[in-house]
DNA sequence: ATTTTATATTAGGATAATCTAATTAAATTT
DNA sequence: AAATTTAATTAGATTATCCTAATATAAAAT
């Protein structure tokens, strides 16, 4: 007791909206020379007054240094949050595009929403899974490509180039099994 | 003009909180004889007055039939939403547990959050992907099990039972390539 | 150095979802 | 049937996020 929420930082968890703003600011900071209210507003798809009040809130929590009419700068902590959101976004985006073969813009939108809700555990699992697919000799690029084919026509082992070329031995065994059954 | 939002149903999209309530009510309806405020509150982890006001809102939108002090019943439309949420939840839960090997309770929580944010497109893609893994001769159960091993020790082709047993021909070729490079 | 334009801030409200405390209604017990 | 317990509702606030309209400041153009 007493330690819980004295004068320290991060008393309450950030809202996901706040995380969104920090991510956007983090991105703008990397892209542009200065970060301005107008640009945050357009990225977040909100009006400028909304940004102003959010900046005040973020300033109170020491996530940005903000004084009115001056450019916005992230604090160490704020930048940390922004970077973390970027990282998560990246993982999810790659999963959606590289694995699930979702188109870029759609994937970007979905990643935005998921990046707040997924736990570190799940994210780690997803990362491992992607690495596994890329590392395991049974899958990798070729297998992933055949997924696209699968989505169009359904899986037909006889027509699966990759399988019949690279795994003739096993495929033959499969066929035998199928016939037996 | 005029057609847009006259006296018809679904003028505004439902909030994800509303979707959550409908899903919970849908579940309770299937589990219990009657659906009561108290149970909704406990499932949603909110207090009863919150439920009461939400029920009023859902009633106004014709998603539930609700009159005070009476049991709650879903309308056709409300049940549809609940069922849809269940369906999404199921897909995501299976992905998290069967594929990513996340533990049940965690998976359940994550699925709850994701079910609102993912588009139908992504969900479809995910379903296809799961089917692909289960159908493709190169993956399936055994491959999925080896993912768990991979998560613990990293991938070591020499130690990968499944690979070395079922794909000796190709694995050997891989090794040769590796040596060459 | 004025004027104009672009950018940002205040002021004041709205909505969605939640809470606590107090009250009422329904169900159960005695 | 009266008393008690459980369940549900009202009343009244709070927090987070957003808005519009009006105003102020800063930057650019004349």
Looking at the complex, report in whole angstroms how far the Cα of residue A126 sits from the nearest Cα belonging to chain B: 7
Report helix, strand or coil for B176: helix
Residue of chain A with shortest Cα separation from B136: A155
pLDDT, residue A154, reads 61
> Within 13 Å and on the Cβ side, how many CA atoms surround A9?
9
Contact: A137, B170; criterion CB under 8 Å: yes
Select the more confidently predicted residue: B171 or A100: A100
| Residue A54 token pair | 């959010």
Mean pLDDT score, A155-169: 49
pLDDT tens track for B99-153: 998 999 989 989 998 998 898 899 999 998 888 888 777 787 777 777 777 777 6
Contact: B155, A136; criterion CB under 8 Å: yes
- Residue B166 pLDDT class (50, 70, 90 cuts): very low
Residue at token pair 């390539």: B177
How far is the C-alpha of A136 from the C-alpha of B154, rounded, in Å? Answer: 10
Residue in A151, A157, A170 closest to B166 by CB: A170
pLDDT tens track for A124-161: 999 988 888 887 777 877 777 777 777 776 655 555 55
Mean of the per-residue pLDDT values for chain B?
A: 82
Contacts of B138 in chain A (CB under 8 A): 138-139, 143, 162-163, 167
Under 8 Å between Cβ of A57 and A45: no
> Within 13 Å and on the Cβ side, how many CA atoms surround B34?
8
């Amino acid at each position: 007791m007493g330690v819980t929420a004295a004068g320290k930082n991060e008393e309450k968890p950030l809202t996901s909206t706040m995380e969104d703003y920090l991510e956007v600011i983090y991105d703008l900071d990397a892209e542009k020379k200065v970060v301005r209210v107008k640009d945050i507003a357009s990225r977040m798809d909100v009006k400028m007054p909304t940004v102003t009040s959010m900046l005040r809130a973020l300033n109170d929590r020491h996530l940005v240094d903000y004084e009115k009419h001056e450019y916005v700068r992230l604090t160490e902590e704020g930048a940390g949050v922004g970077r973390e959101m970027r990282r998560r976004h990246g993982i999810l985006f790659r999963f959606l595009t590289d694995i699930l073969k979702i188109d870029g813009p759609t994937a970007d939108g979905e990643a935005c929403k998921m990046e707040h809700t997924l736990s570190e555990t799940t994210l780690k699992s997803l990362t491992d899974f992607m690495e596994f697919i890329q590392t395991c000799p049974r899958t990798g690029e070729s297998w992933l490509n055949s997924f696209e084919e699968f989505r169009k026509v359904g899986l037909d082992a006889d027509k699966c180039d990759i399988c019949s070329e690279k795994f003739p031995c096993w495929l033959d065994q499969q066929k035998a099994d199928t016939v037996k059954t």
